[in-house]
Copies of this chain bind each other. A is one copy, B any other.
Amino acid sequence: MPSDDRLQRYADLALRVGLNLQEGQPLVLSGSAESRPLLRALARSAYRLGARAVVVDLHDPALGRIDLEDVWEAYLDEVPDWFVQARVRAVDAGAAQLSLTDADPFLLRGVDPARLARRMQAAARARRPYLERVGAHKVNWLALGAATPAWARAVFPELAPDETTERLWEAIFATVRLDAPDPEAAWRDHVAALEARAATLNRARFAALIFEGPGTELRVGLAQRHVWKSAVAEAQNGVRFVPNLPTEEVFTAPDPERVEGVVTSTRPLNIGGTLVEGLRVTFAGGRAVELEAAQGLEAVRAVLATDAAAPRLGEVALVETPNPVFDRGRLFLNTLYDENAASHLAFGRAYPDTLGLAEGDDTALTAAGGNASTVHLDWMIGSPEVDVWGERADGARVPLMKRGRWVDAAR
């Protein structure tokens, strides 16, 4: 466990720079029971900032697994929404939402996939009213990492178990620049740089992006109404917040029908406990028509089989490398971190705000040329060996990234 002092600094940074908790605002914290030391630091920090109330929703992942394995078949499709409704009421009362990302990436390994799918669907139905509100930014919210023993063992399988949690905390702290002389100032600068980058790209109005690197020759058409987004979001309550710590990306909506060529993933990805390595995808007319992988291909195929829009893209994100996440040189087995290591694509659903829309209306999303799939699967395609160009409507190309770094032309 890190020192109380470092945990407290991490908590302060999260509430000030990330969540931007307002004086007099209630706060709901959620996380696994293993994360109590961080939750306590967050509660102290929140009260120091004048939180009206801090309510904590604790869960135990092992109980979640028991639920999956032991509930009778007859009740598998029913998940009570009592506690989800408590969180809905909290959001409707204006409470900020901070959820810890602290799960064991391999928690569900070995669970019967048919039971898992049914239970997950029932849980998603119960959670929908909550997730819709958060997705629509009804209040300021934050996803924040916390190292837990099971997660740390998965990330550092070669280390002695008692060293792993400490190592993961160090990695997490590094990704949020906690050891900068003034971490809060460092974050404000970083966020301003990402926002400036998104603004420049929005002015450029490229018709497509071109990626070139080892095993990659890809042209990603951008949606006509695409909007580049980055770190900052504005909630319906007027609070500007940074919903993810860390965040290194600028991202927008591809045209789900105009993606051509071949692309090779630059990092493995974890799909529910299965590691996919060496993924190579060929696109034609926006659709993934050919898939190869050195390992784990079936897990990708299962996701892409979810619905008709799943094998098409919903997000393209540019991430400069190196950066504090990439520098860890290792997979976190968690999207909050891994998607910030390098430029990436996502199969499936687009973020409505990357098409200038609010969350919640799939008809509008489709009409605006966005992907309305129910899945969203990020995978990394950037590295210090990959170049990126922006292509204008007239076919002229502007270099954006050389060997993973932004070139001045993009500024």
Residues of A that sit less than 8 Å from B by CB: 26, 28, 33, 36, 39-40, 43-44, 47-48, 50-60, 62-63, 66-67, 70-72, 75, 78-80, 82-83, 85-87, 89-90, 93, 95
Contact = CB atoms under 8 A, between A and B. Distances in A.
Contacts of A87: 82
A66 B29 CA distance: 14
B82 A66 contact: no
Contacts of A43: 63, 66-67, 70
26 contacts: A33-B33, A33-B60, A36-B60, A36-B62, A40-B63, A40-B66, A43-B63, A43-B66, A43-B67, A47-B70, A47-B71, A47-B72, A48-B70, A50-B72, A51-B71, A52-B75, A52-B78, A56-B59, A58-B59, A80-B93, A80-B95, A82-B89, A82-B90, A85-B85, A85-B86, A85-B89
Contacts of A85: 85-86, 89
Contacts of A40: 60, 62-63, 66
Contact of A86 (B33, B56, B82): B82
A59 B58 CA distance: 7
Contacts of A53: 71, 75, 78-80
A83 B86 contact: yes
Contacts of A51: 71
B58 A58 contact: yes
Given A43-B66, A43-B70, A53-B80, 20 more contacts: A26-B80, A33-B33, A39-B63, A40-B60, A43-B63, A43-B67, A44-B66, A47-B66, A47-B70, A48-B70, A50-B72, A51-B71, A54-B67, A55-B82, A57-B83, A82-B87, A82-B89, A83-B83, A85-B85, A85-B86
Which among A26, A43, A95 has the greatest number of chain B C-beta atoms within 10 A? A43
A58 B60 contact: yes
A331 B63 CA distance: 33
A21 to B, nearest CB: 13
Contacts of A57: 83
Contacts of A90: 80, 82
A67 B87 CA distance: 19
Instruction: Please give me the 3 A-B residue pairs with the lowest Cβ-Cβ distance, nearest first.
Output: A47-B70, A33-B33, A86-B86
Contacts of A75: 52-53
Nearest to A37: B62
Contacts of A36: 33, 60, 62-63
Contacts of A60: 33, 36, 39-40, 56, 58
A200 to B, nearest CB: 43
A58 B55 CA distance: 12
Nearest to A33: B33
Contact of A82 (B48, B50, B70, B93): B93
A182 B262 CA distance: 68
Which among A75, A79, A86 has the greatest number of chain B C-beta atoms within 10 A? A86
